[in-house]
Amino acid sequence: MSPAWKAAAGAGTSIQWPVGSGEDKNEGVAQRVRTTPDSIGYVEFIYALFNRLSYAQVRNSAGRFIEADLDSIAAAASNAENMPASFQLSLTNAAGRKSYPIAGFTYLLIPARSGDPKKDAFVRELLGWILTSGQRQAAALGYGSLPPEIVEREQKVIASLQ
C-alpha cells in the first residue's frame, strides 16, 4: 500500500475518504450511486454484471482503457508475477496490455489442521473441488479461473494439509 495513501485516507475495511461517502457492501454502494446524481462507485464485477449496472473502462498499467470482463480479469491473474508461498498478491495494475487494473483474488483462510480428522478431510475435498470442477464452473458464476500454475501450487499445499 502506498504510504501516502495510508497516511491520508487510512487502511482497513473502512477508511476516511477525502470526499464523498462510503456505503456497506455492493448493495449499499449501488443504491447510493442510483440515488445520487453524477456519482460513481465501486462494486464487485459479478454484482455489476448480474444487476445490469453500467461500468466504465479503467486505464491499466500499459496505458490502455480496459473494460472489466472475464478475459481481462483472467489476463490480470495470468500476469501475476512472483506469487509468494502465502499466495498473497495484489493484482492492482498487473502487467499486460489486456489486464484489468483493479482485479483481485478471493482468499480462503484455512488452518493446517482443525483437530477433527473428518472435518480436515472434508476441507481437503472441498478445496480439491474448487481447484478442479469449481474452476470449470467459475465463468458461469461470473468469476475468472485461476491460472494453471497457481492451481498446481495450491494443489500441492492442499496435499500437505493433515
pLDDT in tens, the chain (162 residues): 778 878 888 888 777 777 888 888 999 999 999 999 999 999 999 899 889 999 999 999 999 999 999 999 989 988 766 788 888 888 899 999 999 999 988 888 888 878 899 998 999 999 999 999 999 898 888 888 888 888 998 999 898 886
Cα separations in angstroms, 25 against 18, 29, 67, 126, 138: 19, 6, 22, 26, 22
Residue 61: left if φ>0, alpha if ψ -120 to 50, beta else—which one? alpha
- 84-130 pLDDT tens trace: 888 888 889 999 999 999 998 888 888 887 889 999 899 999 999 99
pLDDT of residue 111: 84
Q: What is the rounded CA–CA span in Å between residue 64 and residue 57?
A: 9
SS3 state at 117: helix
Global confidence as pTM: 0.77
Rg (CA), the chain: 18
